[in-house]
Structure 1
Amino acid sequence: MLTPVVLGALAVLLAGPLPWLLSRWTDLRRTPAAAMLLWQSTALAAVLAALGAGLSLATDRLWAPPVAPADVVVAALAGAVTAVVLARLLLSGHRTGTALRRLRRRHRERVDLVARVSGGVSVLEHDLPVAYCVPGMTGSRIVVSRSTVRSLAPAELEAVLEHERSHLRARHDLVLEAFAALHLAFPRWVASEAARREVEVLVEVLADRAACRSGDRRALLGALLALAGSPAPAGSLGSAGSALAARVEVLRDTRPHRVQAAAVVALAATILAVPTLLVVLPWLAGLA
């Protein structure tokens, strides 16, 4: 009977206080891959704990004879709540994914009508400097304006393009989509908004790092500053997107931070392992 209580408390902790604390640990951005793993582990562990609390309560009531009528009622209520949580997750995932794909498809169609394609990049005749990508399972687009092409040096432009290519290669849109779905599925008191904002920053930092590996760090810094404030359409990923000042600070830090990265990966593994073991081990013991 203790397992459902522990899982319920863990779900509350992983859904509220922990994401709130992690969003204020800004040094995590200096190890973006490990930080992303930590955020994903926290979100997945919160879902596992929430679902596992209901399922373990139901099985505890039904697996230990004698089973009283009250046990059946409690198990049914626990199962119903678990089904509602799962249904909300699936529904929010469907709604989020459908809306984003429709939005991106329409934007790609409009870009194809007005843009000129040069070297695989869609160039818009626009006075504002813009650079962004429109992800998709097929037919992704990298879009820049003529103003961007004219205002950036060749190395700066290549750094921006590599930034966008990195978004498309790594499918950062799917990561953002998952956290958007969680934000839609859970109540307002859950810190999913903080998680979503921080993950938006991390995908940009990861793309920045990828651009620096194949190009000049100073060129990327110059390009980001030149594009500061440039708009990006809804559903796209823009070079001058989230938390530009924070990203510039991270780019200027060239230290490896290996100890922090290892510690964060270990923390992510621990957070994911705890609810998994709490869910699996009692069931295995009951089957034995």
Structure 2
Amino acid sequence: MSTTLVLGSLAVVLAGPLPWGLSRWSGLRRTPAAAMLLWQSTALAAVLAALGAGVSLAAERLRAAPVTAMDVVVAALAGAVTLVVLVRLAVSGHRTGTALRRLRRAHRDRVDLVARVDRGVSVLEHEVPVAYCVPGMTGSRIVVSRSTLTTLAPAELAAVLEHERAHLRARHDLVLEAFTVLHRAFPRWVASAAARREVEVLVEVLADRAACRTGDRRALVSALLALAGAPTPAGSLGSAGSLAARVEVLRDPRPRRLQSAAVALLAAAILALPTLLVVVPWLTGLHGR
């Protein structure tokens, strides 16, 4: 079986059936760090396999002896498709990144105009309990409403604030942005919407885990329930998102080291397969010269 066919088949599996199946494995959320690694490896491997298939097909045709006109046409088409994939990713990345940064900058400016700052937290005079963070390269904001301060107990408020700080420390916004870029580049051809939704849950679970390491797990659960339905502005990360899935994970904090190790190994294998299929033939060709 040719390398092109293997890479093409792998790209199809990694872009469709595998993300679809992973999105239905709810138990994966109980090992969120390994699960995030698995989703990132799957997305990167799918792109690498798709690009590698195009390059491999072009190289196979041009190495044919003798090279016919049909070989040149097929190689040109394969190269064109590969270039289209790269261009779509680049354009999607530029548009998504530019739009998000503009949106967040404008929101931070509005918050700075109307909010008072209390111990590094921007407090809005609002009757609805809200809590979210606005990421930024030059200055992030953690925003809560006055109602949040009066509604939550001290332990609950501390857990919520640590949750938001965890988002900012880990730059979860960049993780979500990468999957948004992939989804917008290929909205109909791959299962990127399922990946984006599941990654949204995982970043919240990871922030919850960070909050629980320094605070009370039960206080965080009660705070999340108190903030249920709270609005989250576009471009920000809020404490109230994916509530049902997160509460389910929080209620069962038992470590799952075996699952975590197995998922991490699976992630490494998924990424290694297309990498080897792309790199080994190239190294072999160099050695043959």
> With structure 1 as the length reference, what TM-score do the two structures score?
0.98
Count of residues in correspondence between the two structures? 287
Hey, what does 1:268 align to over in structure 2? 267
| Percent identical | 82
Alpha-carbon distance between aligned partners in 1 of 2:75 and 2:190, rounded to the nearest angstrom: 25
Alpha-carbon distance between aligned partners in 1 of 2:66 and 2:279, rounded to the nearest angstrom: 23
Alignment of 1:102-117 (within 5 A): 102-117=102-117
Question: 1:1-24: per-residue Cα shift (whole Å, max 9, x none)?
Answer: 711111111111100010000000
The residue type equivalent to 1:244 in the other structure is L
Alignment of 1:152-231 (within 5 A): 152-231=152-231
The residue type equivalent to 1:278 in the other structure is L
The residue type equivalent to 1:134 in the other structure is V
The secondary structure found in structure 1 opposite 2:70 is helix
Question: 1:114-169: per-residue Cα shift (whole Å, max 9, x none)?
Answer: 00001000000000000000001011000000000000011110100000000000
Where structure 2 has 5 or more consecutive residues not aligned to the other structure, the ranges are: none
Correspondence 1:143 to 2:174: no
The secondary structure found in structure 2 opposite 1:228 is coil
Asked if the contact 1:63/1:286 (under 8 Å) is kept, the reply is no
Question: 1:216-269: per-residue Cα shift (whole Å, max 9, x none)?
Answer: 11111111011011001000000001x201101101112100000000001000
Q: CA deviation at 1:72?
A: 1.5
> With structure 2 as the length reference, what TM-score do the two structures score?
0.98
Where structure 1 has 5 or more consecutive residues not aligned to the other structure, the ranges are: none
Q: CA deviation at 1:90?
A: 0.6
Question: 1:26-62: per-residue Cα shift (whole Å, max 9, x none)?
Answer: 0000000000000000000000000000001111112
Alpha-carbon distance between aligned partners in 2 of 1:202 and 1:123, rounded to the nearest angstrom: 27
Hey, what does 1:86 align to over in structure 2? 86
Which consecutive segments of 4 or more residues in structure 1 shift more than 4 A? none
Correspondence 1:123 to 2:123: yes
CA-based RMSD of the aligned residues comes to: 0.9
Question: 1:84-138: per-residue Cα shift (whole Å, max 9, x none)?
Answer: 0000001001111111000000000000000000100000000000000000101
The secondary structure found in structure 2 opposite 1:222 is helix
Alpha-carbon distance between aligned partners in 2 of 1:5 and 1:189, rounded to the nearest angstrom: 18
The residue type equivalent to 2:246 in the other structure is R
